[in-house]
């Protein structure tokens, strides 16, 4: 394949899963020999510093706090003349129709990476872009059945693993199988040798439903088990979740660590990944957690069943069934051997099924199939 000029469009590089995929894909395309840039509407964002060595073009002269406002987007892309424009996130995808109309000859590719309702502009763009990439088979089905896309205009490319496990050469704490750093984190948080740590990594938004994890965990307090529930992430619901944990008498067991640029130490220190989200497309968190050897307990949501090997690497429970969730947690927390077996299977599964280089090759093969760069040949 000849060198392509690729531009990835994203409203802002906040800390969400789509934004991490934007950074990962940009760097993977560059590593494959292509000329890559990212165009963002708003300046800043916690992931902006992680984009290097890929360059970024920012459209708003200062942060107006408007995720949809993309001044000069057409002018910028016309000047940079990419072969491919890849739209990431709901706001970027909402501009797809006008980009297609204004930029003939460019291949504009949309993406479906959300379980939320689609804005009107997004829905209009679905009919205009050259192709749409869904990050789960369930999201692809939604595009065809709910939004009327022809099946041949939709491809499924799963998310790539963002955070590979820390080097196996890292010094291990004798007898625990954990790195010295991970064991140190547990000790600093007062986690004893027999305690199990449940972990959830993600933004605190209403649809992520972290409060359901706290409520399910409250059911474990009378079970005689030694457990902790850790949250990594920021967002508007964090304060309410902190208050809930305190109100339920769980302040000593439930800890909030805020946004972490690299959460791998928390994966390494944990024993079980937990997710109660109501709106997913494909969960980066579950992929990363399994790659680090964590079994999963998760509520059923769009694409979640494509993240795990159900019954082997984890357990899925009905959405909003607090009792079933607590029972599934109990089954792993009370059985370290079952937890270890599922964790070992999870590590092999995630590292193979979501390899980053392969996902980048899938996108590049799609771009070639759509004729990107053909005029250069």
The mean pLDDT of 68-95, rounded to a whole number, is 97
- pLDDT tens per residue across span 59-76: 999 999 999 999 999 999
CB neighbour burial string for 183-208, b if at least 16 within 10 angstroms, e if fewer: bebbeeeebeeebbbbbbbbbbbeeb
Nearest to 168 by CA among 260, 58, 292, 57: 292
Peptide linkage before 53 cis (omega within 30 of 0): yes
> How far apart are the C-alpha atoms of 204 and 184, rounded to whole Å?
26
Judged by average pLDDT, the poorest of 31-40, 121-130, 350-359 is 350-359
Which part of the chain has CATH 3.40.50.2000?
A: 5-160+355-376, 180-353
Give me the pLDDT at residue 356, please.
Answer: 84
Nearest to 310 by CA among 276, 270, 283, 349: 349
CB 85 within 8 A of CB 97: no
In this predicted structure, the answer to whether residue 376 has a pLDDT above a threshold of 80 is no
Give me the pLDDT at residue 197, please.
Answer: 97
Share of residues in the chain with pLDDT > 70 (%): 95
Nearest to 360 by CA among 77, 1, 69: 1
- CA-CA distances (angstroms) from residue 376 to 108, 169, 240? 17, 45, 55
- pLDDT tens per residue across span 232-273: 999 999 999 999 999 999 999 999 999 998 899 999 999 999
CB 307 within 8 A of CB 216: no
> How far apart are the C-alpha atoms of 77 and 59, rounded to whole Å?
11
The CATH class that applies to domain 5-160+355-376 reads alpha beta
Distance of alpha carbon 239 from the chain centroid: 22
Mean pLDDT value across the chain:
92
* CATH assignment, 180-353: 3.40.50.2000
Phi-psi group of 28: left, alpha or beta (phi > 0 → left; psi -120 to 50 → alpha; rest → beta) = alpha
CB 14 within 8 A of CB 51: no
Give me the pLDDT at residue 238, please.
Answer: 97
Distance of alpha carbon 84 from the chain centroid: 23
Give me the pLDDT at residue 168, please.
Answer: 47
DSSP 77-126: HHHH--SEEEE-SHHHHTTHHHHHHH-TTSEEEEEE--SSPPPHHHHHHH
The mean pLDDT of 212-222, rounded to a whole number, is 88
Give me the pLDDT at residue 377, please.
Answer: 46
> How far apart are the C-alpha atoms of 202 and 284, rounded to whole Å?
9
Instruction: Give the model's confidence band at 169: pLDDT under 50 very low, under 70 low, under 90 confident, else very high.
Output: very low
- pLDDT tens per residue across span 176-199: 678 899 999 999 999 988 899 999
Helix axes of 284-291 and 17-31: crossing angle, nearest 10 degrees: 70
Instruction: Give the model's confidence band at 367: pLDDT under 50 very low, under 70 low, under 90 confident, else very high.
Output: very high
The mean pLDDT of 282-299, rounded to a whole number, is 93
């Amino acid at each position: 394949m000849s060198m392509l000029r690729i531009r990835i469009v994203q409203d802002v590089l906040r800390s969400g899963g789509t934004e991490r995929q934007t950074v990962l894909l940009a760097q993977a395309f560059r590593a494959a020999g292509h000329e890559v840039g990212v165009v963002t509407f708003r300046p800043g964002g916690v992931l902006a510093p992680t984009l290097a060595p890929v360059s970024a073009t920012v459209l708003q002269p200062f942060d107006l706090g408007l995720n949809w406002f993309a001044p000069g987007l057409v002018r910028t892309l016309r000047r940079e003349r990419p072969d491919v424009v890849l739209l990431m996130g709901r706001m970027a995808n909402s501009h797809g129709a006008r980009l297609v109309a204004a930029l003939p000859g460019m291949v504009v590719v949309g993406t479906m990476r959300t379980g939320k309702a689609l804005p009107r502009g997004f829905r209009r763009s679905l009919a205009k872009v050259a192709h749409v990439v869904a990050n789960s088979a369930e999201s692809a089905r939604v595009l065809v059945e709910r939004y009327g896309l022809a099946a041949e205009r939709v491809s499924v490319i799963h998310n790539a693993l963002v955070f590979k496990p820390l080097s196996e050469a890292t010094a291990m704490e004798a007898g625990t199988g954990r790195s010295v750093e991970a064991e140190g984190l547990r000790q600093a948080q007062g986690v004893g040798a027999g305690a199990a740590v449940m972990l959830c990594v993600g933004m605190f938004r209403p649809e992520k439903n972290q409060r359901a994890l706290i409520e399910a965990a409250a059911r474990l307090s009378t079970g005689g088990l030694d457990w902790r529930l850790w949250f990594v992430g920021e967002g508007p619901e964090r304060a309410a979740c902190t208050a809930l944990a305190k109100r339920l008498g769980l302040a000593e067991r439930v800890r909030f660590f805020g946004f972490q640029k690299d959460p791998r130490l928390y994966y390494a220190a944990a024993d079980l990944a937990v997710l109660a989200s109501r709106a997913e497309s494909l969960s980066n968190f579950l992929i990363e957690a399994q790659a680090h050897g964590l079994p999963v307990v998760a509520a059923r949501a769009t694409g979640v069943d494509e993240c795990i090997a159900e019954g082997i690497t984890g357990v899925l429970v009905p959405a909003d069934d607090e009792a079933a969730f607590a029972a599934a947690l109990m089954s792993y927390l009370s059985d370290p051997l079952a937890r270890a077996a599922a964790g070992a299977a999870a590590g092999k599964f995630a590292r193979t099924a979501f390899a980053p280089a392969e996902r980048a090759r899938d996108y590049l093969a799609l771009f070639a199939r759509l004729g990107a760069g053909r005029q250069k040949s």
